[in-house]
Amino acid sequence: MALLGHLINRSLRIRQNFTIITGTARSYQTQVLTRLLRKAKNTHFGKHYHFGKMAAADKIYSQFKETVPFHNYNQMYSQWWKFCQEGEQNVCWPGKVKYFALSSGTSESASKHIPVTDDMIKSVKKAGMKQFFSMQNFKLPSGVFDKGILMLGGTTSLFEKGDYYEGDMSGISAKKMPRWLSFLFYKPGQSIARRPRWEDRIKLIVRKAPTWNVGIVCGVPAWVQIVFEEIIAYHKVNHIHEIWPNLALYIHGGVSFEPYQENFKNLLGKPITYIETYMASEGSFGFQSRPDTRGIKLILNNNIFYEFVPFNEENFDEDGEITPKAMAYMIHEVVENTKYAVVLSTCAGAWRYIIGDVIKFTSVKNAEIVIVGRTKQFLSLCGEHLSIENMNKAIDEVQRSLNITIKEFTVSGKVHEGKFAHTWFIGCDEIVDKQQIIDKIDATLCKINDDYAVERQSALPHLFIEILPARTFVDFLHATGKFGAMNKFPRVLKNGNLTKWENFLSERVGV
C-alpha cells in the first residue's frame, strides 16, 4: 500500500512537468454538443428533434436551442425515461439503460430515477481522474495517498428491477470500482457499504473507526459532521484526529460548506485541506482545482453540455419553474456574479434538463463557479429575493459573532396580519438568546441584500424564530423516508414539505 502511494505521488510529480495544450471553453463545448447530437441522432429522441440534420448545421447551438425545449425531471421522465425502465432501447441515448440512480435530494417528491449509461460511468471516471491530477496544486502531506479513503455515501447495494438495476449513484460507481482499489483504500469497505440502512452503516463505521488509517474523507457535510460527532462521543476522545491522526483532506459537495465550517473546526485537532466538488446523480461536473479560491472548475470536455439561464423573474416563475421562452447562454457568453440556473445535455440521455442548481461564475476565464442556491429554494414573497447564499452567510455570521454552533437550519415564509413573515428554524443544542440570533440574521441580510432591506421596511415586518434540538432535523428526514447520506435538508420549506414539517413539529410537541 505504501509502494502504491509512492507511485501515485510520483505520477503527480511527473504530471507537473507536462504542458497540456487546451482549447477554448467555446470550442470544447461546441465539440461536446456536436458529439452528443451525432451519437444520439438515431435514438427516438434524436429522430423526433432531427439531431442528424442539426449536427450538420453551421450554427449548431442556435438550431439546438430553437428546436429542443427545456425539460424538468417530470417532463423528461414521463415523456422519455419511463420507456427506458420498461426495457426499450435507444430512447434518449444509444443502447439499453442498465442502471438508474435514485435521487431524492431536497425535493418533496418520491425518489427520482435518473438513467446512468455506460458512457456516463466513463464520464464520471474521467472526472475523477481529472480531479486526482489536480491534487498536485494543493499542499497535501506526501503520504496522504497511502491512507484509507472514507466515502460516506449511500448504500452500494443495487436492487434488481427486471431489466435494470437501481440504487444510489455511489453504489453504481462502487460496482464499477476496480477490486484492488476497493480492497486497499476504500472505507468503510463493501461489507458495510452494502448494508441498506444508513443507521446500521453509521453504527459500524463508528465502532470500526479506530481500526482504519483514514487520510481522506468524502461526503455531504451534514452527514460527515454527524459521523465525526458520534465517533468522538463513542470513543470518548476530544477530536477526530485522535482517531485518525493522518486525516488531511476532506472532499465535500452537495450543499454549501459555509454554515458547517465553524463546527468542523471544533471536530478537528489540526487544520486540513478542503476541496469542493460538483457531483449529482446526473453526472460529475467539476471540482475545486486551485487552492485559496472558492470556485469549482467545470469540466467542459467530458460529454456534458452546459447552458446557463439567468435566474430572474423573466425566465422563472414564482414557483421556480422555467418559462418556455427563457433565454439560455453557452459558457463563453456568461458574465461573472450573475445568477444562472444550470441546464444539462448529457451522455445519459438528458436533454436541456433543468438540474435545479443556481450558480454564479467567480471566474469566466477559468470556468469556475460557486453554487448559490436551487431554483425552487428561495424566498421571494414580496420581492425580497432571499437566496440560499444569503441564508448561509447569515448563519455563518451568527455562529462567528455569537460563538455558537448551528448544526442545521431551514426557513419558511407565510402571510401574517395582512403582510408577510419569515420563520427561521434553527438546530442548536446550546442555551442561546433567540432574539439575539434573529437580530443578527436580520442585520446581516439587510447588509448583503438590498431588496430584503427595502421589504423589511414595508411588506416584510415580521420575523419569527424557533430553536430546536439539532436531532429534530435528522428525525424529520427519518420520518419522511429521506434518512441517508445522499439526502439534504431543504434550506427553504414550501408547499408539501412545509406542511409535513409543521405536522411533524406539532406531533413532537404533543408527545
For residue 57, how far is the Cα from the chain centroid? 35
Q: Is 372 helix (H, G, I), strand (E, B) or coil?
A: strand
**CATH number of the domain enclosing 68:** 3.40.50.12780
Predicted TM-score (pTM) of this structure? 0.84
Give the chain's largest Cα–Cα span: 70
In a domain, 309, yes or no: no
Of 242, 277, 303, which marks where a domain is finished?
303
Of 269, 303, 337, which marks where a domain is finished?
303
Nine-digit cell string for 346: 448529457
In a domain, 368, yes or no: no
291 and 143 in a common domain: yes
Per-residue pLDDT 10s for the chain (511 aa) are 444 455 445 555 544 444 454 689 999 999 999 999 999 999 999 999 999 999 988 899 999 999 999 999 999 999 999 999 999 999 999 999 999 998 765 444 457 899 999 999 999 999 989 998 898 888 888 888 888 899 887 777 788 888 888 888 877 776 666 554 554 567 887 788 778 777 888 899 999 999 999 999 998 888 899 899 999 999 999 999 999 999 999 999 877 788 888 889 999 999 999 999 999 999 999 999 998 888 999 999 999 999 999 999 899 987 889 998 999 999 999 999 999 999 999 999 999 999 999 999 999 999 999 998 888 888 888 888 898 889 999 999 999 999 999 999 999 999 999 899 999 999 999 999 999 999 999 999 999 999 899 899 989 999 999 999 999 999 998 888 776 656 778 899 988 889 999 999 998 765 4
In a domain, 180, yes or no: yes
In a domain, 352, yes or no: no
Give dist(CA 167, CA 474) in Å, integer.
22
How many structural domains are present in the chain? 2
Of 274, 303, 332, which marks where a domain is finished?
303
* Span between the terminal Cα atoms of the chain, in Å: 53
Quick one: angle between helices 388-402 and 434-448, nearest 10? 130
Is the separation of the CB atoms in 290 and 369 below 8 Å? no
In a domain, 359, yes or no: no
In a domain, 38, yes or no: yes
175 and 39 in a common domain: yes
Radius of gyration of the chain, Cα coordinates, nearest whole angstrom: 23
395 and 281 in a common domain: no
396 and 299 in a common domain: no
Contacts (Cβ under 8 Å, ≥6 apart) of 395: 258, 259, 406, 409, 441
Is the separation of the CB atoms in 143 and 6 below 8 Å? no
In a domain, 349, yes or no: no
Is the separation of the CB atoms in 250 and 273 below 8 Å? yes
Could you tell me which of 188, 166, 164, 194 has the C-alpha nearest to residue 104? Answer: 166
Could you tell me which of 321, 313, 452 has the C-alpha nearest to residue 376? Answer: 321
**CATH number of the domain enclosing 443:** 3.30.300
30 and 132 in a common domain: yes
The residue range of the domain holding 409 is 388-510
**318-324 CB contacts, 8 Å cutoff, 24+ apart:** 318/380, 319/376, 320/374, 320/375, 320/376, 320/377, 320/378, 321/72, 321/375, 322/70, 322/72, 322/354, 322/375, 324/69, 324/70
For residue 438, how far is the Cα from the chain centroid? 28
In a domain, 106, yes or no: yes
424 and 280 in a common domain: no
71 and 199 in a common domain: yes
Q: Which residue intervals of 416-494 are DSSP H helices? A: 434-448, 450-456, 471-479
